[in-house]
Amino acid sequence: MDDSGCRSLCNALGFFDCLEDSELVLPTQNGAVRLFRFSGIQVYLHWSWFVVALIEFNLRGAQYSSPFWNVAEYLALFVIVLMHEFGHALACRQTGGQADQIVLWPLGGVAYVAPPPRPAATLWSIAAGPLVNLILLPIALVVAMAADGIGLKDSMPNLRHFLWALVYINAGLLVFNLLPVYPLDGGQILRSLLWFAIGPARSLIVATVIGLAGAATLAGLALFQGSIWIGVLAAFMGINCWRALQHARLLRQVEQAPAYQGARCPKCQAPPLIGAFWACGSCQTRFDTFATGGVCPKCHQQFPITACIQCGASRPMSEWLGQPAPPVIHPRGTAQ
């Protein structure tokens, strides 16, 4: 993004991957407790987590003979979800992307990641989260079965129940997250695979349409069972799918936009697109920074540094331009 406030419109909408897109309705660090930083990634715990924890302790009080084990099970869920989100974040960094924040909340966790806009990078960033649960599941299963084998069911029933709870938590997270419903991991994995064949915009359209159908199904299930939590989850998925669908339409516009000849991103070598794909950080006016020479047409603020719509890199305008007034390339290749 432009250091002085001008930013790429596409980047303002996010990298549309890993849920972790500023156009999605997601928890932020506002109202969250800062827990710790690991490997440059700051972890936050949303305040609503504590409210839900108290509710869960009251509802599940009969699961164990001591409240200690209820607390232990809930904290174990916290740790497993956190490991899942770190899987996303660390995998994204392996691809050269940006990942520096994780927020945990009652519906799980959100790793704010921005992998490079390539299908393989996005696929790995998304798949690494469920992969963590896939690794943890057999370990937890072996430990739980071993506990049964040495007779903990009779001698230490609370510990035995806790160990099997770890199995169910990992299995549940793995199966649920792999449902091919956007914006769950499975829906984003589906989108990444489709991206190889039909491109970023159409793949996102397909994934979000499937996601809307999945959200509608969950909403029906919530009404049938009278479940508030399933209803909240259905609403969360539906709203995010709708917003992502709007973002996909913008991507289609980007794909069809003509580009300037003689100018290239210093990092990815993509030509800058013609159109109001940048926004002034001061007055929020959208404009074509290459057409105005990096000057906002409304407030006249100068932006010497420009962000690439394709890769997100920010570089001085002088590094982009091979000539002062680059000619236009139309989609069919006709210059003017």
Residue 22 in domain? no
Residue 24 in domain? no
Domain count, the chain: 3
Domain around 291: 1-14+259-336
> Could you tell me the two tokens for 222?
């919530």
Residue 276 in domain? yes
From 256, 277, 312, the end of a domain falls on 256
Walking along the chain (336 residues) 10 residues at a time, the average pLDDT comes out as 32 31 52 83 82 70 76 87 93 90 80 86 93 95 90 82 91 90 90 92 91 91 86 86 85 80 83 84 86 89 83 80 50 40
Question: Both 93 and 125 in a single domain?
Answer: yes
Residue 145 in domain? yes
Q: Note the pLDDT of residue 330.
A: 47
Residue located via tokens 């007034």: 325
Residue 3 in domain? yes
Q: Note the pLDDT of residue 174.
A: 93
CA angle 21, 27, 248 (to 5 degrees): 25
User: 3-state class of 42 per DSSP?
Assistant: strand
DSSP, res 136: H
Using an 8 Å Cβ cutoff, are 274 and 257 in contact? yes
Residue 26 in domain? no
From 151, 178, 205, the end of a domain falls on 178
Q: Note the pLDDT of residue 60.
A: 67
Question: Both 222 and 120 in a single domain?
Answer: no
Residue 21 in domain? no
From 178, 198, 230, the end of a domain falls on 178
Residue located via tokens 């432009």: 2
Residue 20 in domain? no
Q: How far is CA 70 from CA 51, 84, 276, in A?
A: 15, 21, 54
Burial letters 263-296, b for 16+ CB under 10 A, else e? bbbeeeebbbbbbebbbbbeeeeebebbbeebbb
Question: Both 44 and 117 in a single domain?
Answer: yes
Question: Both 94 and 222 in a single domain?
Answer: no
DSSP letters, 157-200, are: HHHHHHHHHHHHHHHHHHHHHTSS-TTSHHHHHHHHHHHHHHHH
Q: Note the pLDDT of residue 335.
A: 37
Residue 267 region, left (φ>0) first, then alpha (ψ -120 to 50), else beta?
Answer: alpha
- Ranges assigned E (strand) in the chain: 7-8, 32-38, 41-46, 98-105, 108-114, 259-260, 278-279, 286-287, 305-307, 314-316, 328-329
Q: Can you tell me the distance from the alpha carbon of 168 to that of 150, in angstroms, rounded to the nearest whole number?
A: 20
> Could you tell me the two tokens for 269?
């070598």
pTM for the model: 0.72
Question: Both 247 and 264 in a single domain?
Answer: no
CA angle 48, 132, 35 (to 5 degrees): 35
Q: Note the pLDDT of residue 3.
A: 32
Q: Which of 113, 226, 132, 127 is nearest to 184 (CA)?
A: 127
Q: Can you tell me the distance from the alpha carbon of 2 to that of 22, in angstroms, rounded to the nearest whole number?
A: 17
Q: Can you tell me the distance from the alpha carbon of 282 to that of 280, in angstroms, rounded to the nearest whole number?
A: 5
Residue located via tokens 């660390």: 90
**Residue 171: partners with Cβ closer than 8 Å, 6 or more residues away:** 133, 137
Question: Both 91 and 167 in a single domain?
Answer: yes
